[in-house]
């Protein structure tokens, strides 16, 4: 799959901005130069008209001598125009000279006999053929002669156009060179990214060491930092998975070996009574393996990075009563008193399946580690704005220096004889974290045992 190029994107946006700026600049230059050139031509045309007017006034000329003098001035003016403007080789002056009574004294071949314009000074006039002309009408200082000089707009554009072409060509060259510099600078600018990509590509699979760049740039620092943070998280995740698999294999080895032994004893039993006794032992071993596998699946599920706990309004009071009704069977088997204190209904926003798993693990732990004939009390309700779930027992309790470690996976307090997986409190802690809840130890029952309290801070609940 061909991916869009970041370099092309950068160059493209820069080229677009430069192109827009270039068009605006060229337009302004064309407008400014056209106005400047028109102003300069107007001043020159007006000056020419003034010279013609002063030449034709003040002295008495015969018509032939006047025409001769005016043609000499015209020739000088046209030569000056041709020398100044590159594209004015075919330029011809158009003017008329009238006396004070409006009698035409002289006109060029392209000028009509009637006045070109009646407007004094500089003006823009539309001729009969629809062509626009710039006019200058000037009177001599003694008011005896009036001169009208005209230039067509097309002639003016023909004279200005070469200069505008030079300006346009210069701006195109500037734009092209700017784009070339931008392309070169961008290629140089993204080179550190390519170098970084090459370093990553050369790494061995599973290498968790941080990525280093030969040169550190402010733009690449966040990328390298986040990549290294990701590598660190992945390294810890893989390490946890390896540790989890090793611990799971170790924990499964003993109960599976016991199941194998019990199965062998069942097969080798010599009478029915002995066979039943060994069968009960086999059933107990299978129950332990089944419980351990269930705990392993639960801890793997709640610890999965992609795990999402979808919270929804739930009647947690009914949920707790239903779970305790099922767990009471195990309590009665061991003659353990299981008590529940909670309101009839209590709705809160939780993930039902995860909440059930938390309740099961806390109550099951209390039943497992409480001696026969003991007590387990479950209380559940609102404590101010917080939702609180507490399980207490009168069992052996947990020593203060062991209370942090019991949340580790597969950790079992030394000397414990009760059957268990060492995963219950680890599961409870992970579920509590997903609900933004806290887990703490409280006093047990009758001055003995231990209690575990789970508090959902500010949980939205309705009684």
**What is the phi/psi pair of residue 72, to 5°?**
-65, -45
Mean pLDDT value across residues 42-56: 81
Distance of alpha carbon 11 from alpha carbon 185, whole angstroms: 10
332 touches 369 (CB < 8 A): no
390 band by pLDDT with thresholds 50, 70 and 90:
very high
For residue 83, the model assigns a pLDDT of 61
Does 268 fall in a domain?
yes
- Name the burial class of residue 428, with classes exposed (0-12), middle (13-18) and buried (19+) by CB atoms within 10 angstroms of its CB: buried
For residue 12, the model assigns a pLDDT of 77
Distance of alpha carbon 3 from alpha carbon 197, whole angstroms: 15
Mean pLDDT value across residues 382-407: 85
Average model confidence (pLDDT) for the chain?
77
Q: Do 69 and 150 fall within a single domain?
A: yes
122 band by pLDDT with thresholds 50, 70 and 90:
confident
50 touches 138 (CB < 8 A): yes
Mean pLDDT value across residues 385-403: 86
For residue 170, the model assigns a pLDDT of 81
Does 260 fall in a domain?
yes
Does 213 fall in a domain?
no
Residue that is written with structure tokens 């067509």 in the block:
152
Task: Beginning with the edge strand found earlier in the chain, give each strand of the sheet holding 94-99 in spatial order.
Answer: 104-107, 94-99, 145-152, 132-139, 121-126
Distance of alpha carbon 99 from alpha carbon 225, whole angstroms: 91
Whether the CA torsion 340, 342, 347, 351 is positive or negative: it is negative
Residues written for the chain: 463
Reply yes or no on whether the pLDDT at 250 is more than 80: no
For position 385, which CATH number holds?
3.30.565.10
Higher pLDDT pick, 36 / 14: 14
Asked whether the whole model's pTM tops 0.85, one would answer: no
* Domain limit, last residue, from 164, 188, 213: 164
First CA to last CA distance, the chain: 57
Q: Which residues contact 384 (CB under 8 A, 6 or more apart)?
A: none
For residue 461, the model assigns a pLDDT of 46
Q: Do 140 and 271 fall within a single domain?
A: no
149 touches 135 (CB < 8 A): yes
* Domain limit, last residue, from 277, 303, 329: 303
Q: Do 351 and 272 fall within a single domain?
A: no
Structure tokens at 246: 């090793």
Q: Do 296 and 339 fall within a single domain?
A: no
For residue 84, the model assigns a pLDDT of 60
Reply yes or no on whether the pLDDT at 306 is more than 80: no
Q: Do 445 and 362 fall within a single domain?
A: yes
Does 74 fall in a domain?
yes
Reply yes or no on whether the pLDDT at 1 is more than 50: yes
Does 191 fall in a domain?
no
Q: Do 22 and 108 fall within a single domain?
A: yes
Q: How many domains does the chain fold into?
A: 3
463 band by pLDDT with thresholds 50, 70 and 90:
very low
Concatenated DSSP letters of 252-279: HHHHHHHHHHHHHHHHH-SSHHHHHHHH
Mean pLDDT value across residues 55-78: 72
Q: Residue 307: helix, strand or coil by DSSP?
A: coil
> Residues 264-293: pLDDT tens digits?
777 777 787 877 877 877 776 676 667 667
> Residues 341-353: pLDDT tens digits?
888 888 888 888 8
For position 246, which CATH number holds?
1.10.287.130
Measured in whole angstroms, the distance separating CA 24 from the mean position of its chain's CA atoms is 32
Residue that is written with structure tokens 């003017």 in the block:
95
Q: Do 320 and 291 fall within a single domain?
A: no
Distance of alpha carbon 368 from alpha carbon 325, whole angstroms: 16
69 touches 55 (CB < 8 A): yes
Does 189 fall in a domain?
no
* Lowest mean pLDDT across 116-130, 285-299, 326-340, 382-396: 285-299
Q: Residue 305: helix, strand or coil by DSSP?
A: coil
* Domain limit, last residue, from 303, 326, 346: 303
For residue 268, the model assigns a pLDDT of 78
> Residues 129-167: pLDDT tens digits?
777 888 888 888 888 888 888 887 777 777 667 777 777
Mean pLDDT value across residues 441-460: 83
Q: Which one-letter DSSP state was computed for residue 345?
A: -
For position 154, which CATH number holds?
3.30.450
Percent of the chain with pLDDT over 90: 2
462 band by pLDDT with thresholds 50, 70 and 90:
very low
Reply yes or no on whether the pLDDT at 88 is more than 60: no
Whether the CA torsion 70, 72, 78, 81 is positive or negative: it is negative
Q: Is 436 left (phi over 0), alpha (psi -120 to 50) or beta?
A: left
Q: Do 451 and 364 fall within a single domain?
A: yes
Mean pLDDT value across residues 57-64: 66
Does 38 fall in a domain?
yes
Distance of alpha carbon 7 from alpha carbon 21, whole angstroms: 21
Ordered alpha helix ranges (H), 142-213: 153-201
Does 360 fall in a domain?
yes
Q: Do 124 and 13 fall within a single domain?
A: yes
Q: Is 104 left (phi over 0), alpha (psi -120 to 50) or beta?
A: beta
Higher pLDDT pick, 96 / 306: 96
Q: Do 299 and 372 fall within a single domain?
A: no
Reply yes or no on whether the pLDDT at 311 is more than 50: yes
Task: Beginning with the edge strand found earlier in the chain, give each strand of the sheet holding 312-315 in spatial order.
Answer: 312-315, 347-350, 461-462
Which domain does 252 fall in, by range? Answer: 221-303
């Amino acid at each position: 799959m061909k991916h869009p190029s970041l370099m092309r994107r950068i160059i493209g946006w820069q080229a677009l901005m430069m192109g827009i700026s270039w068009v605006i600049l060229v337009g302004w230059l064309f407008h400014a130069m056209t106005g400047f050139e028109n102003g300069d031509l107007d001043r020159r045309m007006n000056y020419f008209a003034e010279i013609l007017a002063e030449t034709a006034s003040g002295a008495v000329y015969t018509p032939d001598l006047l025409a001769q003098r005016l043609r000499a001035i015209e020739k000088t003016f046209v030569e000056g125009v041709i020398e100044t403007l590159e594209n004015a080789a075919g330029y011809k002056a158009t003017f008329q000279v009238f006396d004070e009574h409006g009698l035409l004294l002289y006109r060029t071949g392209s000028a009509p006999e009637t006045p070109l314009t009646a407007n004094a000074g500089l003006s823009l006039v539309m001729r009969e053929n629809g062509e626009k002309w710039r006019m200058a009408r000037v009177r001599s200082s003694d008011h005896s002669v009036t001169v009208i000089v005209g230039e067509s707009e097309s002639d003016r554009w023909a004279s200005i156009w070469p200069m505008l072409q030079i300006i346009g060509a210069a701006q195109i060259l500037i734009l092209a060179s700017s784009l070339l510099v931008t392309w070169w600078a961008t290629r140089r600018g993204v080179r550190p990214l390519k170098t970084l990509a090459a370093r990553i590509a050369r790494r061995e699979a599973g290498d968790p060491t941080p990525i280093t760049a030969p040169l550190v740039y402010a733009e690449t620092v966040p990328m390298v930092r986040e990549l290294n943070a990701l590598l660190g998280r992945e390294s810890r995740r893989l390490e946890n998975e390896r540790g989890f698999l090793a611990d799971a294999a170790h924990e499964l080895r003993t109960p599976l070996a016991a199941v194998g032994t019990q199965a062998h004893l069942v097969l080798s039993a010599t009478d029915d009574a002995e066979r039943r006794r060994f069968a009960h032992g086999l059933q107990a071993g299978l129950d332990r393996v089944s419980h351990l596998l269930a705990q392993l699946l639960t801890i793997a599920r709640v610890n999965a990075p992609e795990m999402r706990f979808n919270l929804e309004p739930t009647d947690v009071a009914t949920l707790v009563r239903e779970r305790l009704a099922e767990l009471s069977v195990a309590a009665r088997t061991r003659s353990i008193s299981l008590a529940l204190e909670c309101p009839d209904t209590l709705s809160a926003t939780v993930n039902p399946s995860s909440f059930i798993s938390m309740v099961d693990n806390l109550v099951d732990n209390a039943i497992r580690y409480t001696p026969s004939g003991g007590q387990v009390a479950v209380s559940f309700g609102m404590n101010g704005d917080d939702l609180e779930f507490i399980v207490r027992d009168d069992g052996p309790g947990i020593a203060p220096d062991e209370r942090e470690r019991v949340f580790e996976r597969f950790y079992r307090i030394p000397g414990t004889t009760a059957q268990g997986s060492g995963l219950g409190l680890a599961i409870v802690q992970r579920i509590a974290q997903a609900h933004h809840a806290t887990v703490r130890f409280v006093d047990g029952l009758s001055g003995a045992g231990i209690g575990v309290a789970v508090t959902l801070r500010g949980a939205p609940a309705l009684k």
